[in-house]
């Protein structure tokens, strides 16, 4: 199936969420899925329904709310997994079952303990089962890039014969090289009967930093679906980044002659939304969307930019939806101004949610001179898209300095009961965290603590991200506030709320 459109299959909610610290709750997944739909991706892989009750419910919820994109559920090549995936996605407007089985010798021997003949039979059976539910079936040959080409050809042929309409050839461990990967795609196109009637897909990991290069090489060789994630998140070193692949095809349309259905000016808002949700900052030097991607400091570069921006910019910030930081709102701004600016950023809030954000804007405007786009996004995450509160911060006073013992006095609500304590620490953040732990009766270990400024200026909001661990459970929390100590408290409490929600879900699953 050869045409000039490359279909974008986004797996941020499935493969991306498997990366450490990238877990999301139901509300966050739903919000991100809707934004992915607005971004114009062709397929949203919503999750792995058989992996847990929570994942099943998230996939089911997303399947019901997505209006344009196909919604895929991942399933191992087993009847139980495939049945479970269909149950989760059956209400989608355009459902897809994505089933997979490993095909490399090392995986078959050490992970599956299966012979080649058994793998061939199971692939045919699994794809056939999925085809009884829908004609939109994708099969992935896990670790295809390390598989014997002759055997891989047999597997792909079995999947095509059984009814697969998309065949995915993953570089599961980021092992292959661009020329080698392109040759593999050409080999399959030349040897598999009926391959012209299916979409060839690629899914590349970034272990050697070649995920985007390998993806583009495969596209040049004839692949027409790319499996990608926002910001390149994913297991180990991550996946091919959606923004890199899409903009490479766009900027070098002269070379590739291909296009995607992605709405380019929604790229940055979508990547920024993911960053805010998972509490992981976009690295400054990240291609396309990083803070320095459009920064020019060298004198000769600045001179060239003043003469003609194309001297050093191969794309514009506006082309990916990245507006310059500017004051957009203040304490005199009304609901309509807030609503319009939020809609420009891709947010669709109901009246109650909008009221919360408007009040937060006015409160913040009393504390700082200018409110920027990034401030507004942070407020939305704080006021709307957050985990339901078991613990709430009501009041915080912190004392510190080189002539004082760091002390924190906190008042919190725990299950709607107010509790107030004072605690000491080696520093202001330590004293705040000690006080919170005393109130909630928990003492998780702090695995990560980071602070970034949301915007420039001495009155900028600070964005704090923490990762905590208690037993086998970990949780990421984030908080934003003009006061770094308050932001730290918000982040720690947010992580504790997430931890409490995980414990609650575990208990419910056992019941």
pLDDT tens-digit readout, 378-396: 788 777 766 667 899 999 9
Q: What is the mean pLDDT of residues 189-205?
A: 98
Residue found by looking up tokens 């909610």 in the block: 13
What pLDDT, in 10s, does the model give residues 240-287? 999 999 999 999 999 999 999 999 999 999 998 998 888 788 888 999
User: What is the pLDDT, as a whole number, of residue 298?
Assistant: 44
**pLDDT-based confidence at residue 189 (cuts at 50, 70, 90):** very high
CATH number of 7-278, picked from 3.40.50.620, 3.40.630.30, 3.20.20.70, 3.40.309.10: 3.20.20.70
Fold classification of 391-510 is: Double Stranded RNA Binding Domain (3.30.160)
User: What is the pLDDT, as a whole number, of residue 389?
Assistant: 78
User: Over 90: is that where the pLDDT of 204 sits?
Assistant: yes
In which element (H, E) is residue 45 found?
Answer: strand 43-47
What pLDDT, in 10s, does the model give residues 137-183? 999 999 999 999 999 999 999 999 999 999 999 999 999 999 999 99
What tokens appear for 404 in the block?
């004082």
User: What is the pLDDT, as a whole number, of residue 509?
Assistant: 46
Nearest to 407 by CA among 399, 397, 416: 399
* 8 Å CB contact between 456 and 471: no
User: What is the pLDDT, as a whole number, of residue 307?
Assistant: 58
Q: What is the mean pLDDT of residues 475-482?
A: 87
Average pLDDT, the chain: 89
Length reported for the chain = 511
**pLDDT-based confidence at residue 478 (cuts at 50, 70, 90):** confident
Dist. CA 191–CA 184, nearest whole Å: 11
Dist. CA 35–CA 362, nearest whole Å: 26
What pLDDT, in 10s, does the model give residues 222-242? 999 999 999 999 999 999 999
User: What is the pLDDT, as a whole number, of residue 331?
Assistant: 66
Lowest mean pLDDT among 88-102, 117-131, 361-375: 361-375
- φ, ψ dihedrals at 48, nearest 5°: -120, 85
Dist. CA 78–CA 75, nearest whole Å: 7
User: Over 50: is that where the pLDDT of 297 sits?
Assistant: no
For residue 100, the cross-strand partners are 76, 140
Dist. CA 259–CA 243, nearest whole Å: 13
User: Beta-strand (E) ranges in 304-427?
Assistant: 391-399, 407-414, 417-424
What tokens appear for 8 in the block?
């974008």
Nearest to 462 by CA among 436, 478, 480: 480
User: What is the pLDDT, as a whole number, of residue 301?
Assistant: 45
What pLDDT, in 10s, does the model give residues 489-508? 999 998 999 888 777 665 44
Lowest mean pLDDT among 7-11, 126-130, 360-364: 360-364
User: What is the pLDDT, as a whole number, of residue 325?
Assistant: 52
- The number of beta carbons lying within 10 Å of the beta carbon of residue 441 is 7
Instruction: Decide: helix, strand or coil at residue 165.
Output: coil
* 8 Å CB contact between 163 and 128: yes
Dist. CA 169–CA 155, nearest whole Å: 11
Q: Which residues contact 457 (CB under 8 A, 6 or more apart)?
A: 368, 369, 370
* 8 Å CB contact between 447 and 471: no
**pLDDT-based confidence at residue 408 (cuts at 50, 70, 90):** very high
User: Over 70: is that where the pLDDT of 312 sits?
Assistant: no
Using DSSP bridges, classify how beta strands 137-142 and 473-481 pair: parallel, antiparallel or unpaired: unpaired
In which element (H, E) is residue 452 found?
Answer: strand 445-453
Q: Where are the domains of the chain?
A: 7-278, 335-383, 391-510
User: Over 90: is that where the pLDDT of 299 sits?
Assistant: no
- In which region does residue 257 sit, left (phi positive, over 0), alpha (psi from -120 to 50) or beta (all else)? left
Alpha-helix residue ranges (DSSP H) falling in 163-203? 178-191
The more confidently predicted of residues 335 and 362 is 362
Dist. CA 130–CA 127, nearest whole Å: 5
Lowest mean pLDDT among 18-32, 80-94, 116-130, 461-475: 18-32
């Amino acid at each position: 199936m050869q045409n000039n459109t490359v279909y974008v299959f986004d797996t941020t909610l499935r493969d991306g969420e498997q990366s450490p610290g990238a877990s999301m709750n139901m509300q966050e997944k739903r919000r991100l899925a809707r934004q992915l739909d607005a971004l114009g991706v062709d397929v949203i892989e919503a999750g792995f329904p058989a992996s847990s009750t929570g994942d099943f419910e998230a996939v089911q919820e997303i399947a019901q709310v997505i209006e344009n994109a196909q919604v895929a559920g991942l399933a191992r090549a087993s009847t139980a997994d495939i049945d479970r995936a269909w149950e989760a996605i059956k209400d989608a407007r355009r459902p897809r079952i994505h089933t997979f089985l490993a095909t490399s010798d090392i995986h078959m021997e050490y992970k599956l303990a299966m012979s080649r003949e058994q793998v061939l039979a199971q692939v045919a059976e699994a794809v056939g089962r999925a085809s009884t539910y829908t004609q939109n079936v994708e099969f992935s040959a896990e670790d295809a890039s390390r598989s014997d080409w002759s055997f891989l050809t047999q597997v792909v042929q079995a999947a095509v014969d059984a009814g697969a309409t998309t065949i995915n050839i993953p570089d599961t461990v980021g092992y292959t090289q661009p020329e080698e990967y392109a040759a593999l795609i050409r080999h399959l196109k030349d040897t598999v009967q009926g391959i012209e009637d299916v979409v060839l897909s690629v899914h590349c990991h970034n272990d050697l930093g070649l995920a985007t290069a390998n993806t583009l090489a495969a596209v040049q060789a004839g692949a027409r679906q790319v499996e990608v994630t926002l910001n390149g998140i994913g297991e180990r070193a991550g996946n091919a980044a959606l923004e890199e692949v899409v903009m490479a095809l766009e900027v070098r349309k002269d070379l590739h002659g291909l296009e995607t259905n992605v709405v380019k000016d929604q790229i940055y808002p979508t990547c920024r939304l993911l960053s805010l949700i998972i509490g992981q900052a976009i690295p400054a030097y990240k291609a396309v969307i990083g803070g320095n991607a459009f920064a020019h400091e060298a004198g000769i570069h600045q001179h060239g930019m003043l003469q003609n921006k194309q001297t050093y910019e191969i794309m514009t910030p506006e082309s990916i939806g990245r507006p310059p930081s500017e004051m957009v709102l203040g304490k005199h701004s009304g609901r309509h101004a807030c609503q319009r600016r939020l809609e420009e950023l891709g947010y669709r809030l109901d009246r109650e949610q909008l009221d919360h954000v408007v009040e937060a804007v006015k409160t913040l405007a009393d504390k700082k001179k200018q409110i920027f786009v990034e401030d507004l996004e942070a407020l939305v995450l704080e006021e709307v898209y957050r985990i339901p509160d078991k613990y709430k911060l009501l009041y915080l006073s912190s004392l510190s300095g080189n002539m004082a013992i760091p002390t924190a006095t906190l008042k919190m609500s725990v299950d709607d009961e107010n509790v107030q304590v004072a605690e000491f620490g080696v520093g202001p953040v330590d004293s705040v965290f000690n006080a919170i732990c005393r109130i909630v009766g928990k003492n998780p270990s702090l695995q990560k603590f980071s602070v970034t400024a949301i915007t420039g200026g001495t009155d900028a909001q600070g964005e704090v991200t923490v990762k905590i661990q208690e037993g086998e459970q970990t949780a990421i929390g984030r908080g934003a506030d003009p006061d770094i100590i308050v932001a730290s408290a918000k982040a720690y409490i947010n992580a504790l709320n997430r931890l409490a929600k995980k414990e609650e879900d575990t208990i419910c699953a056992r019941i």
